Amino acid sequence: MVLLYFIGIILFVTSIMESTELTETQNEILDSVLKGSTNFAIDLYNVLKNEPGNLFFSPISLQLVLALAYSGAKASTAEEISKALLLPQKLEDVLEGYSLLLKLFDDPSLSVANKMFIEESFKLLPEFQASADKFFKAPADLVTFIKNSEGARNYINQWVEEKTKNKIKELLSKGVVSKETKLVLVNAIHFKADWSVKFLEKDTKKKTFYISKNESVETDMMHMTKKLDFLHDKELQFKALKLKYAESDLAMLILLPDAIDGLADLESKLSLIDFTEKFKHFSRPEVEVQLPKFKLETSMQLNDVLKQMGITTMFSKDANFSGISTQSDLVVSDVIQKAFVEVNEKGTEAAAATVMAIRLKRSLMLDNETEVFIGDHPFLFVIVTNKDPAMIVFLGKYTHPNVEVDKHSHAEL
């Protein structure tokens, strides 16, 4: 089973629009936004990967709230966001592109909820609020940050917890919002689906997982041999397995380096992988698969990460969000994401949440033989829309089980 949750809180909100037949111009705009989306996901991963250990996050959630922030930003604040997201030059194309992108979430296994939480005494520009509602489906909810910031924090957290079926709790910790907070954007994604081809619990056995050539642990490894979407890229030295979800247009891609210690090399080549073109060329042989069951939880403060990606002004006294409101000078105080994923025999359960709060500035190719895909060493995994073009919804790396490491030599491997 796959259950995937994402919550994003930032200064603004995102969501789904009804699907319609696209014109040629709309297709061009959507392709441009999706190209930027993939590049942003890889760029974000390349910054986050520097922290040791497991990793899981939702690039699209962060991207969506940044795009909404961009729609109310001006001058260098807007330019930096635009450059990081590779946005179209015209604002109207950005808005159209993201409304079209959100249609890709129109999936029976996926739901998206968006909301802006606004200080009741704070006035948004009518055109910004209308744009947020029309293109991002972001309704506004008035709260009292000034009179009761703790009550507002609990109210937002309760909404997040409800939308993620209790998977993301305490997204906003104490102190993240205060009497000077003016807006908080929340984006919540919930995904739940079973594998189209399930693993059997009786086939799950304790197996060795090699964290490196010199370290290993015993962990629960799922097993099956079935006809599955598979490719082996000998040039980039990795195997890819696509595991589809039942009654869903999403799929999980698992990228397994050929070498036990090959993850860093694969990460360095990630920008060379076209997630749309590359994965048009899967074959469907018999594949013997072994994958660990795992559960990951992450919490990330993304201010410094975004600064490393060139988005700096929105955190400074020079921030310009005059397209949101003329009532006060605004600055982004915090961008936070929490994420959760669990992979087991039935499928995947996952959730993520991103928070951006804004305050006053002063507060600052293959044959027919059985292939082997043994996930017994660090690998990348991506949850994508199984469409053309593909969109990265979640991205992560699995480097070790959450158990004690056996630091014995495996030099013979």
- Write the single-letter amino acid at 363: S
The answer to whether residues 183 and 313 belong to one domain is: yes
The answer to whether residues 270 and 329 belong to one domain is: no
The answer to whether residues 250 and 347 belong to one domain is: yes
Beta-bridge partner residues of 143: 119
The answer to whether residues 135 and 227 belong to one domain is: no
With tokens 């056995």, the residue in question is 205
CA 150 to chain centre: 28
Q: Please check the confidence at residue 365 and state whether its pLDDT lies above 50.
A: no
Q: Which domain holds residue 219?
A: 194-294+343-351+370-398
The answer to whether residues 229 and 109 belong to one domain is: no
The answer to whether residues 183 and 309 belong to one domain is: yes
Q: Is residue 334 one of the residues assigned to a domain?
A: yes
Residue 242 and residue 390: Cα distance in Å, rounded?
13
Give me 261's structure tokens.
């210690």
Q: Please check the confidence at residue 413 and state whether its pLDDT lies above 50.
A: no
pLDDT at position 308, please? Answer: 97
User: In degrees rounded to 5, what are phi and psi of residue 88?
Assistant: -60, 155
pLDDT at position 410, please? Answer: 32
Residue 123 and residue 328: Cα distance in Å, rounded?
9
What is the DSSP track for 109-141?
A: TEEEEEEEEEETT----HHHHHHHHHHH---EE
Give me 280's structure tokens.
């048009």
Residue 236 and residue 317: Cα distance in Å, rounded?
45
pLDDT at position 109, please? Answer: 79
The answer to whether residues 331 and 214 belong to one domain is: no
The answer to whether residues 169 and 304 belong to one domain is: yes
Pick from 17-26, 131-140, 248-257, 341-350 the range whose average pLDDT is largest.
Answer: 248-257
pLDDT at position 180, please? Answer: 92
CB 60 within 8 A of CB 382: no
Q: Is residue 272 one of the residues assigned to a domain?
A: yes
Q: Range with the lowest mean pLDDT among 97-106, 120-129, 152-161, 197-206? A: 97-106
Q: Is residue 325 one of the residues assigned to a domain?
A: yes
The predicted-structure confidence for 92-136, as pLDDT tens digits, reads as follows 999 999 999 888 888 877 777 777 899 999 999 999 999 999 998
Q: Provide the mean pLDDT of the chain.
A: 86
pLDDT at position 166, please? Answer: 84
Q: Please check the confidence at residue 315 and state whether its pLDDT lies above 90.
A: yes
Number of domains in the chain: 2
Q: Is residue 5 one of the residues assigned to a domain?
A: no
Q: Please check the confidence at residue 330 and state whether its pLDDT lies above 60.
A: yes
The answer to whether residues 287 and 315 belong to one domain is: no
- Of 398 and 356, the structure prediction assigns the larger pLDDT to 398
The answer to whether residues 46 and 110 belong to one domain is: yes
pLDDT at position 256, please? Answer: 98
pLDDT at position 362, please? Answer: 63
pLDDT at position 368, please? Answer: 56
Q: Which of 243, 200, 262 is nearest to 384 (CA)?
A: 243
Q: Please check the confidence at residue 9 and state whether its pLDDT lies above 60.
A: no
For range 66-90, the mean pLDDT? 95
Q: Is residue 85 one of the residues assigned to a domain?
A: yes
Exposed/middle/buried for residue 70 (C-beta within 10 Å: 0-12, 13-18, 19+): buried
For range 70-76, the mean pLDDT? 95
Q: Please check the confidence at residue 324 and state whether its pLDDT lies above 60.
A: yes
pLDDT at position 20, please? Answer: 54
For range 143-153, the mean pLDDT? 95
Beta-bridge partner residues of 373: 289
Residue 91's H or E segment, with its range, is: helix 91-103
The answer to whether residues 317 and 347 belong to one domain is: no
Q: Using pLDDT thresholds of 50, 70 and 90, give the confidence band for residue 313.
A: very high
pLDDT at position 107, please? Answer: 81
pTM summary value:
0.88
Q: What is the DSSP letter of 285?
A: -
Look up the CATH number of the domain holding residue 93: 3.30.497.10
CB contact set of 208 (below 8 Å; sequence gap of 6+) = 216, 217, 218, 376
pLDDT at position 231, please? Answer: 94
Q: Which of 222, 272, 224, 260 is nearest to 378 (CA)?
A: 260
Phi-psi region of 119 (alpha: psi -120 to 50; beta: other; left: phi over 0): beta
The predicted-structure confidence for 233-284, as pLDDT tens digits, reads as follows 999 999 999 999 998 889 999 999 999 999 999 999 998 887 777 777 899 9
The predicted-structure confidence for 24-64, as pLDDT tens digits, reads as follows 999 999 999 999 999 999 999 999 999 889 999 999 889 98
Q: Is residue 163 one of the residues assigned to a domain?
A: yes
Give the max Cα distance, the chain: 68
Q: Is residue 15 one of the residues assigned to a domain?
A: no
Q: Is residue 9 one of the residues assigned to a domain?
A: no
CB contact set of 158 (below 8 Å; sequence gap of 6+) = none
For range 165-181, the mean pLDDT? 89
Look up the CATH number of the domain holding residue 391: 2.30.39.10
Q: Please check the confidence at residue 17 and state whether its pLDDT lies above 80.
A: no
pLDDT at position 233, please? Answer: 93
The answer to whether residues 52 and 160 belong to one domain is: yes
Residue 201 and residue 263: Cα distance in Å, rounded?
28
